[in-house]
């Protein structure tokens, strides 16, 4: 039966979900093929995680050089420091191409068959790619997502609306930019364009930015960005974009804000364009393919991973889901725990969080304990010249269990992995406190925050 198919597993889409799934499937000894219609590495490598961080790195280097005198480095005239947008584009291309080629090499060395083209389902065991039929026992759909241009906003006249994709190809930083959406993507671009010299305004429907982050911590990040010149219009409804003006409603009154460029960052929609998923009878959750925590769709031989299932639209989630899907196909029971996915925002200082916010934790747990360690009390932060930030930990006081951790400070995105491991291993707060952390590091403040939650820290 199995041999009557071309492959045992076919993966559709070679983003961080798809290529990881394909490599894992091949390593499990499955005859595996991956089909990609555009560039290997998907949104993450080509238009998302990686290129944005290349831009942000340059902005941060420029900032550090301007602050050279603070580090006793002489001979730098901050007024002469400029950033070359074409230079960043060149560097972005070098970094992206190296990573894309790396993905291709990994697929090759793991003997994954590769097909370039757009896959569309004919039936549950067959896709067609450029008029060629490809059959498989199992399919893993990893077709990603597209930037959302919301229908509830009216678009009139001549607009310079861009999405994150075009923002990464701009040849110059606009003088003024309006960003619609205060989520992770909107805030990273607000930070970036502010550093590149643009006047930035962010419009957000909710009354706080960064929905996954504890509002207290997100509020600190907002204050820092405001101090640097970013304008936030929160709790406002953007109604219309007309002739390069954002029309928004605030406190029942209509206001307008002109901008050279308008960046739409209100979220992403799962991509099933031309996949033929509907005619197969796959069940949807709005635009997302519905899956259980084992990544199975309602059709027993079809799995859906990454942004296309809309569960947690992050690259590391997609990759983990790829592994979990393959494990289940290969007969090993595996499940995702969506309550323990870390989330990172690459402003400077950085923001990283995992688990519940304080409000969410209080809804689920009667006896929460909160510990907040200010970065002003951390030596490495002082050495690094940025003591703005906090480590906020949220515990179940009865069980000593970690419910959530929200970091705002230097290197926060590199530190959250420790909490991921701790939460996955169900370590208690006391076990983190008992773990020796190196000095001087910013991570040594993590046990201190847990000590504060339980009573008293040593260094604060
Ligand atoms: P994708 O990476 O979108 O890959 C899907 C692939 O499928 C694409 O290559 C596409 O061409 C292909 N495809 C689609 N349909 C077909 C078809 N029918 N046939 C063949 N091929 C097809 N996440 C993070 O974790 N950290 C970050 O810092 C981060 N920053 C981001 C910044 C920006 C600006 C953006 C837009 C996103 C960011 N993300 C970040 C999100 C991250 O990029 C996505 O969560 C991740 O790429 C999803 O991976 P995926 O494999 O599901 O899909």
H or E segment at 448? helix 445-454
Which segments of 170-268 does DSSP mark as H helices, in order?
184-195, 215-227
Tally of CA atoms within 13 A in the half-sphere of 175 that contains its CB: 3
Q: Mean pLDDT over all residues of the chain?
A: 96
- Those residues with Cβ within 8 angstroms of residue 228's Cβ, 6 or more apart along the chain or in another chain: 194, 195
Q: How far apart are CA 234 and CA 258, in angstroms?
A: 17
| Joined tokens for residue 136 | 């498989």
Q: How far apart are CA 420 and CA 181, in angstroms?
A: 27
Q: Is the beta carbon of 270 within 6 A of some atom in ligand 1?
A: no
Q: Output the CA 271–ligand 1 centroid distance in Å.
A: 10
What pLDDT is stored for residue 2 in this prediction?
A: 56
Q: Is the beta carbon of 210 within 6 A of some atom in ligand 1?
A: no
Nearest CA to ligand 1 atom 11: 38
What pLDDT is stored for residue 81 in this prediction?
A: 96
Sign, CA torsion 117/20/273/299: positive
Sign, CA torsion 346/319/11/32: positive
Q: Residue 261 in 3-state DSSP?
A: strand
Angle ∠(384,389,392) on CA atoms, nearest 5 = 130
Q: How far apart are CA 290 and CA 282, in angstroms?
A: 8
| Ligand 1 atom with least separation from CA of 307 | 52
Q: Output the CA 17–ligand 1 centroid distance in Å.
A: 8
What pLDDT is stored for residue 243 in this prediction?
A: 87
CA 85 to chain centre: 24
pLDDT tens per residue, range 377-414: 999 999 999 999 999 999 999 999 999 999 999 999 99
Q: Are 344 and 350 in contact (CB under 8 A)?
A: yes
Q: End-to-end distance of the chain based on CA atoms, in angstroms?
A: 66
Q: Is the beta carbon of 14 within 6 A of some atom in ligand 1?
A: yes
Nearest CA to ligand 1 atom 15: 143
Q: Output the CA 44–ligand 1 centroid distance in Å.
A: 5
What pLDDT is stored for residue 120 in this prediction?
A: 98
Q: Is the beta carbon of 167 within 6 A of some atom in ligand 1?
A: no
| Ligand 1 atom with least separation from CA of 129 | 19
120-132 exposure pattern, b = at least 16 Cβ within 10 A, e = fewer: bbeebbbbebeee
Q: Output the CA 307–ligand 1 centroid distance in Å.
A: 7
| Ligand 1 atom with least separation from CA of 305 | 52
Low-confidence residues of the chain: pLDDT under 50: none
Q: Output the CA 210–ligand 1 centroid distance in Å.
A: 20
Nearest to 295 by CA among 324, 252, 316: 324
| Ligand 1 atom with least separation from CA of 272 | 15
Q: How far apart are CA 313 and CA 317, in angstroms?
A: 7
Tally of CA atoms within 13 A in the half-sphere of 71 that contains its CB: 14
Q: Which of 160, 172, 208, 439 is catalytic?
A: 439
Q: Is 439 a catalytic residue?
A: yes
Nearest to 302 by CA among 143, 146, 107: 143
Q: How far apart are CA 190 and CA 196, in angstroms?
A: 10
- Those residues with Cβ within 8 angstroms of residue 1's Cβ, 6 or more apart along the chain or in another chain: 137
* Residues belonging to the chain: 460
């Amino acid at each position: 039966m199995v041999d009557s198919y071309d492959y045992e597993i076919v993966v559709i889409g070679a983003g961080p979900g798809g290529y990881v799934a394909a490599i894992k499937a091949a390593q499990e000894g499955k005859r595996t093929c991956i089909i990609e219609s555009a560039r290997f590495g998907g949104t993450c490598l080509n238009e998302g995680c990686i290129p944005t961080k290349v831009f942000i790195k340059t902005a941060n280097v420029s900032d550090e050089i301007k602050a050279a005198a603070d580090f006793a480095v002489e001979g730098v005239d901050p007024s002469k420091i400029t950033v070359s947008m074409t230079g960043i584009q060149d560097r972005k291309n070098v970094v992206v191409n190296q990573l894309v080629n790396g993905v291709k090499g990994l697929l090759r060395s793991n003997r994954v068959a590769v097909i370039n083209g757009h896959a569309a389902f004919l039936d549950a065991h067959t896709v067609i790619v450029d008029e060629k039929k490809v059959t498989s026992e199992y399919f893993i759909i990893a077709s990603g997502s597209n930037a959302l241009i919301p229908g509830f906003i009216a678009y009139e006249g001549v607009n310079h609306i861009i999405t994150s994709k075009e923002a990464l190809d701009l040849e110059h930083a606009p003088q003024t930019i309006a960003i619609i959406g205060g989520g992770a993507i909107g805030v990273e671009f607000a930070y970036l364009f502010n550093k590149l010299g643009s006047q930035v305004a962010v419009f957000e429907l909710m009354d706080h930015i960064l929905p996954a982050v504890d509002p207290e911590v997100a509020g600190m990040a907002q204050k820092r960005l405001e101090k640097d010149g970013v304008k936030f219009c929160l709790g406002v409804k953007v109604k219309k974009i007309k002739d390069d003006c954002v029309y928004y409603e605030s406190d029942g009154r209509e206001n307008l804000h002109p901008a050279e460029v308008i960046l739409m960052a209100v979220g992403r929609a799962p991509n099933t364009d031309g996949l033929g998923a509907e005619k197969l009878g796959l069940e949807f959750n709005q635009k997302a393919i519905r899956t259980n925590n084992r990544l199975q769709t309602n059709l027993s031989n079809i799995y859906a991973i990454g942004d296309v299932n809309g569960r947690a639209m992050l690259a590391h989630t997609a990759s983990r889901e790829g592994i979990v899907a393959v494990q289940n196909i290969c007969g090993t029971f595996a499940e995702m725990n969506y309550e323990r996915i870390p989330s990172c925002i690459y402003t400077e200082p950085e923001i990283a969080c995992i688990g519940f916010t304080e409000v969410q934790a209080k809804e689920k747990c009667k006896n929460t304990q909160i510990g907040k360690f200010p970065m002003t009390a951390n030596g490495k932060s002082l050495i690094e010249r940025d003591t703005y930030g906090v480590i906020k930990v949220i515990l179940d006081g009865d069980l000593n269990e970690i419910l959530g951790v929200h970091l705002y400070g230097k290197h926060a995105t590199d530190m959250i992995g420790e909490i991921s491991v701790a939460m996955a291993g169900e370590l208690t707060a006391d076990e983190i406190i008992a773990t020796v952390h190196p000095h001087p590091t910013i991570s040594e403040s993590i046990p201190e925050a847990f000590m504060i939650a339980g009573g008293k820290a040593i260094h604060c």
